[in-house]
Structure formats: structure tokens, C-alpha cells
Structure 1
Amino acid sequence: MALISGASTGLQLPPLSLYIHVPWCVRKCPYCDFNSHAQRGEIPQADYLQALLDDLDAELNWVQGRTLQSIFIGGGTPSLMEATFYQQLLEQIEQRIPFADGIEITLEANPGTFEQARFAGYREAGINRLSLGIQSFDDGCLQALGRIHSGAEAEQAVAQAQAIGFERLNLDLMHGLPGQTPTMALADLERAIGLGTTHLSWYQLTIEPNTEFHSRPPRLPEDEALWAIQEQGQARLSEAGFEQYEISGYCKVGQQCRHNLNYWRFGDYLGIGAGAHAKLSDPLTERGGQIGRLVRRWKARQPKAYLAGLNRAEQRVIEADELALEFMMNALRLSDGVEAQLFEQRTGLPLATIEPQLTRARSLGLLEQDPALLRPTLQGRRFLNELLELFV
């Protein structure tokens, strides 16, 4: 990483990733607050491919000589697109931005039979990591969540992906579901563990604004049951060799999602596609006597507007008084935290800027005492919101 000449506090160019958003899905799930749109007729794959490439071309000045460390294709339901779509897309991306050796390329996929038929083509296109949106193996829970696959199809999808050669495989599971007991939640984990996956995203269902569940809330488990699920589930995952490396990420040794790690370590990422967001360093822009700034950029959410090139990119500068909270909201998700010097490298601000907050967090037992680390204690992980409030 190149140190920016003249920067008073050592802002450095961090690693670069790419997020690609595919906005279509078969049906909007009642809990989903992501930018997803129920499919109406044929998806305009060729037009969307060209729109993505035009979008990327307009963003290339942010690359600044870096290679891509990871690519994450999310949605929506990216597995609605044909394998040839991704083959062409990835080939064109690599022509514009060099891929780092061993680049991680993740695709989110539904475990339905229709999508399983495309797994081999995705592997051939260069995708080397799948994230399967299983949510639960219990058919009753799946129905309550509005999912269109069954528990048996989910197990079949995992077996199919493994047989094709996807050694890196994430299963997305939720707990605290309508009608779910601790026994049912732990049964989901047992089935996932038994399938031999190396990474699990395991997190509690939350009711988000602008969702069907928000307007018609389902009956969820009581707090006592939720706490039992969390404690017993984490103990079982640890026993099975899964390390909790961030709030909802559990993996076998060395199987962390590298793309997500770049988020949590406040790295840079380009975002292309309808509704895609980006966080980028602009270290060559002089602003207020200080060289360097960080910006967030985003694209038009509606697929029609995006395809028409309307409102293609908006952005705002992350102001200096926001940077500490922005950095900590990411870094403190990690169980191991980050090295303290990363704060200066990624924000351009001296660590002394937040020394009073760090001192307070350590005195409250929310942050480890080691001054070389920004690492939450177990108490800090349990009360993360209270820890983050110190940096507001």
C-alpha cells in the first residue's frame, strides 16, 4: 500500500474489493429489506451486463493502480442469472482491473433445484465461493419466512455444490424465527454442521422497517428463548470447530470470508449494480489543508432507472467527525478487533483523536487493555451498541 505523500496523519490506500448487486428475485421475502425486486417476465441479462460494465468504467479512476482482492455478487438472487452472464462479466472486469493472485469471488445463490442446475457453470465462470441462502432446514419455518425451497432441497444444494468442487461454501442461517424453539434452532445448526460446510453466517431474525413483517409482525420467540438459542448455539459451533470471528460469522480455521474482512477492516470497495454502495479513499484530493478524504457512493435503486443510466452515482464525503464511529462500527464487529495503527492508516486521523473514548471504553471493561489493539472484550461484544455510542 502506498503512503500518500504529504498526508499529515498517514492515510494509506487500503486493499480494494468489488461488490456487484443483482436486484431481481423470484419473490420478495417478508423479512427482507435489501434492494430486491420481484421478477416480472424475462430478466434483461444482456442489458444489465452492459449497464454494469458502463458503471464500472465510470468508477475506474477510484482504482488507483490497485488489484482486486475479492468480488462479492449479492442481491436479490444472483443465481437467477445464467452462468454465461458471469463468465462474460468476470472476463470484462479482469480486463479493466487486474485480479490479485488467489482472488475470492463469491456468489449468493438460492438452494432451489432451478439454481442448482447452474452451479457447475458458475464454477467454470470463475466463481470459487458460494453463499447459499438456506435460512432454515425446517419446512414450517421456511414457509413462515416466505422461502420457496424446502429443507431437503437445501441439503441437496450443499451436496451438489460440494460435488462440483466448491470447497469454500457458506450457509446462511437465521434463528429466532416465528414459532421456532431452541430445540428447533439447534437442530438447524446440527444439520448444517453435519453437511461439512466450512463457513456459517448464523444470525437472529430482526424486524426491519419497510418490510412485510414490520407492517404485520409475526410472533417471535421470547427473550429467554432467544438467549438460550444464542448461548447453546455458540457453544455447539465452538465444539464443532467453528470460530466466531465476527458478530454473525463462524468458520473453520482459515475459512473467513475475505471480502467481509475487507469491509470490517475499513478497506475500500467499489459498488456496481442497482442500489450498490461503495466506500472509497480519495487520497489525492486536497481538502481543508489536509490531503485525503473518504467517500461513500451509491447507485440508483430501481432496476429501470439504473438500466436507463439515471442517477448513476451519488456520493458524500465522510466528515472527520464521523470517521471514528464509521471505523469502529466495522472494526469492532471482529472478535479479534484490529491493530490500533490501522485507525490512522484507514482514516488519516491520529489515534490520539479518540484517546478519551478508548480510555473510557477500557475503564468500562468494553475494550481490551492492550494499547496496540482495538479489540472488544466479551462484555464489549455483548454490549456493542453501548461501546459504539462512545464514538458518536
Structure 2
Amino acid sequence: MASPLPMTLPPLSLYVHIPWCVQKCPYCDFNSHAQPEVIPEAQYIACLLDDLDADLIYVQGRALSSIFIGGGTPSLFSAEGIKKLLAGIQARIPFAESIEITLEANPGTFETERFAGFQKAGVNRLSIGVQSLQEEQLKKLGRIHDPQQAQVAAHHAASLPLHSFNLDLMHGLPQQTLATAMADLEGIIALNPPHISWYQLTIEPNTLFASKPPVLPDDDILWDIYEQGHLRLAAAGYQQYEVSAYGKPGHRGQHNLNYWRFGDYLGIGCGAHGKITLPENGKIIRTEKIKHPRGYLDLTRPYLLRQWDVATDDRVFEYFMNRLRLLEPIPKQEFSERTGLPVELAEQALNNAIRQELIQDGDSSWQTTARGRLYLNKVLSDLLTDD
């Protein structure tokens, strides 16, 4: 069913998935695969651009505001390959003047040596998966770098003329204490990255950790880590703007902001997902591409695995499932523009959270309260069961 109100086209981003890793980490539930003896880089890039060609109908006159090259481990690709990929994308879709182009990278020596080449190829933001600065924890997490390599990678990224770079750090690691978690965080802060993604390890289904669960800290320790870590990041000049994202002024991740603001994004590559607004017929569609590299590289098969409409009944939950991750106010007008639904539907769905002071209801916006940020799952559960 089409939406009852007109929608406007939101900003457009592009996600590119490169599926290969040196080895699969035991906590990882992403669509990643152990690299073959020779990665078919040129063939895969050609397929990515063919995949993009099929999705050009969804651009609808927009420029790309951001590109995120994720995985897997995209830094296994050569700088020349990334340059060819980005040139191919730009030949098909114009880039916004302030476009953010992020590439995920591991801090191993092999990948770090390529950072300068990635920057010259057009990447202006690196996201480096450090996860811990403690040797023992890195081994438990199945990471193949050591703390020294992580530090070298951060220093190298800082020396390049990038717009920004991010360091990923996990907490709530196996048998982690408050002291060791804070030591990890202090080590990351000392590296002075413009952006830190600091998030709790969770045990996901269909992972090695799910079949052989490690001993994780109890809830009291997890709360102490979060509370003290948040205060320490704020004291170091990092502003929390999303559940697990902290940036110095001017360094918020634009690509993820577009996700959480219910913007549009094309998804190309193995298992990549897309979300597109079609204002002319009042639809929002989602796409998913073939997951396995063998199938994706098989030119006799389409890249598209499935495509479906986001039903109007699901849009309230999907919008807030994304939007509530951000700490900023949520404009009521944006809700209607992005979903095609009247504000009254959202107010009805949020009523319980507003009564419990988890959401503050303003004249033109909603805002998650400090208490509400701690109970986001409760807010979302209420939305999902709303009649």
C-alpha cells in the first residue's frame, strides 16, 4: 500500500561490500569469507560496477553524499583496485563536493603499508578495527594483529591528509575487568583519533562464540565500564552522538548518520543491503544482493537476491529503530517526509515511552531522555507491540 502523505528524497549513500578476510573472527556474524589463495580483485570490481549499473534507476538525480567500503577486510584490496572502483562509481553517479569516502582496514603491517595508496585513490576516511590493545584479548578475539601494529596503524593514519579516521574498540571482552577495559580505552584515547567507535561485545547466533561461549563480565562490571568509559571519553573531548559513536567536533561519521536518519543507500557486493525511497509511488524498498562470492561472481545469475517493499505498517518501527540510535532531537516533520505517514501515528506509537519519560515530546521534535538512552530496547519493544 502506498503512503498517504508525500515523501521527499533523502540524501543518498553507497555501501560497497568486500567479503574476504584473512580469517573469520569468532565473534563476527558479518558476511565474510576466508580469502582464497588469490583474491579475484579485478573480476570482483567489474561485478561491483555491473551491480551498480542495475541500481542506477534508484539514484533519481542525486549525488552521493558518502561511500562506505566495508567487509570483510577491504584493505586486502590494492590501492589501484580501490582507485579503479571509485573512478567507476564516480563515472556513474556524481559525488557531492563534501563526500565522505570511508574504507575499513585492519591494523596489520600488510594493510597499513597501503594506507597512503588508499588516500591517494580517493579515500578520505579510514575505519581501523583495533578492538583491543591487549595481546591476550586480541588472541581471544581471533585478531591477527598485535598492539604495536595497532598503534603504528593509528599513527600512520594520523600522518596522512585524510579528513578523518576512526578506531574501533570493544569492551565487555572475555573475563575483562573494569581496570583492563579502562586501560584499553586510555590507550585508544592516547592515540588521539578524531573518532572512536566504542561498543560492547555481544554474542551473535551462528558464530564460534555462540557455539563455545566465552566467560563475559557480569552486568555490574559492564555497567561500571560503560559509565566510567563514557565519562572518560567526554573528558577527552569526544562527543557521543550515537549509541556507540564518539567524535571530536566536526568528525561525526556522515555515512552512518545517513543510515540512522533513515536516509537512502544503495548496496552493492556480496550480501549488501540497500534502502531506497520512491516518492512518485509512495514506496520504500529494500534490496539484498547474493551473499556468497561464488554466486556473486557467476555472471549467469543476477546480483539481486531479493527485493521487498517496506509496508506502511512497518515504517514507524523501522524509522525509530534507526533514529533512536542518535542522541540528537528527531524532527517531527522529518518523520512524515521520510515515511509518508502522519505525525499522529508516531505520537501514538511513542505514547507509552513519553508517559514513562523515556522520550521527551516537544513542539517540533522528540528527544530521547538520559533514562531513555539506557532503555532503548524497551522503547523499541513497545513500538513493535503497539496496536
Calculate the TM-score normalised by the size of structure 2: 0.97
Task: Indicate the larger mover: 354-363 or 295-304.
Answer: 354-363
Deviation at 1:361, TM superposition (A): 1.7
Q: d(CA) in 2 for partners of 1:374 and 1:266?
A: 15
Alignment CA distance shift 1:167-1:312 (3 Å): closer
- Please give the residue correspondences for 1:306-345 in structure 2 after superposition, counting only pairs within 5 Å: 306-309=296-299, 310-313=301-304, 314-345=306-337
| Corresponding position: 1:172 with 2:168 | yes
Aligned to 1:296: 286
Aligned-residue Cα RMSD (Å) equals 1.2
1:71/1:106 contact within 8 Å kept = yes
| Corresponding position: 1:251 with 2:242 | no
Q: 2:148 aligns with which of 148, 152, 156?
A: 152
Aligned to 2:9: 13
Deviation at 1:371, TM superposition (A): 3.2
Task: Indicate the larger mover: 100-109 or 381-390.
Answer: 381-390
| Corresponding position: 1:349 with 2:312 | no
Unaligned runs of 5+ in 2: none
1:368/1:375 contact within 8 Å kept = yes
1:173/1:201 contact within 8 Å kept = yes
Q: Please state whether the residue corresponding to 2:225 is helix, strand or coil.
A: helix
Quick one: which amino acid aligns to residue 160 of structure 1?
H
Q: 1:182 aligns with which of 162, 171, 178?
A: 178
1:107/1:127 contact within 8 Å kept = yes
Deviation at 1:390, TM superposition (A): 2.2
Q: Please state whether the residue corresponding to 1:147 is helix, strand or coil.
A: coil
Q: d(CA) in 2 for partners of 1:78 and 1:366?
A: 39
2:3/2:341 contact within 8 Å kept = no
Q: d(CA) in 2 for partners of 1:385 and 1:358?
A: 13
- Please give the residue correspondences for 1:37-186 in structure 2 after superposition, counting only pairs within 5 Å: 37-186=33-182
Which string of whole-angstrom CA distances, capped at 9 and with x for unpartnered residues, describes residues 186-208 of structure 1? Answer: 11111111111110000000000
Deviation at 1:252, TM superposition (A): 0.7
Q: Runs of 4+ in structure 1 displaced over 2 angstroms?
A: 164-167, 357-360
Unaligned runs of 5+ in 1: 1-5, 286-291
Calculate the TM-score normalised by the size of structure 1: 0.95
Deviation at 1:307, TM superposition (A): 0.7
Aligned to 2:267: 271
Deviation at 1:171, TM superposition (A): 0.3
2:6/2:279 contact within 8 Å kept = no
Quick one: which amino acid aligns to residue 305 of structure 1?
G
Deviation at 1:358, TM superposition (A): 2.5
Q: 1:388 aligns with which of 374, 380, 386?
A: 380
Q: d(CA) in 2 for partners of 1:322 and 1:205?
A: 29
Q: Please state whether the residue corresponding to 1:250 is helix, strand or coil.
A: strand
| Corresponding position: 1:364 with 2:360 | no
1:141/1:179 contact within 8 Å kept = no
1:123/1:166 contact within 8 Å kept = yes
Q: d(CA) in 2 for partners of 1:201 and 1:175?
A: 11
What percent identity do the matched residue pairs reach?
53
| Corresponding position: 1:305 with 2:301 | no
Aligned to 1:33: 29
Q: d(CA) in 2 for partners of 1:164 and 1:237?
A: 24
Task: Indicate the larger mover: 69-78 or 181-190.
Answer: 181-190
Quick one: which amino acid aligns to residue 60 of structure 2?
Q
Q: d(CA) in 1 for partners of 2:262 and 2:353?
A: 20
**Count of residue correspondences:** 381
Which string of whole-angstrom CA distances, capped at 9 and with x for unpartnered residues, describes residues 235-270 of structure 1? Answer: 100111111100000111121000000000000000
Deviation at 1:7, TM superposition (A): 7.5
Q: d(CA) in 2 for partners of 1:53 and 1:369?
A: 45
Q: Please state whether the residue corresponding to 2:353 is helix, strand or coil.
A: helix
Q: Please state whether the residue corresponding to 1:334 is helix, strand or coil.
A: coil
Q: d(CA) in 2 for partners of 1:23 and 1:318?
A: 27
Q: d(CA) in 1 for partners of 2:172 and 2:364?
A: 37
Aligned to 1:198: 194
Q: Please state whether the residue corresponding to 1:29 is helix, strand or coil.
A: coil
Deviation at 1:10, TM superposition (A): 2.6
Q: d(CA) in 1 for partners of 2:329 and 2:200?
A: 22
Q: 2:18 aligns with which of 22, 36, 43?
A: 22
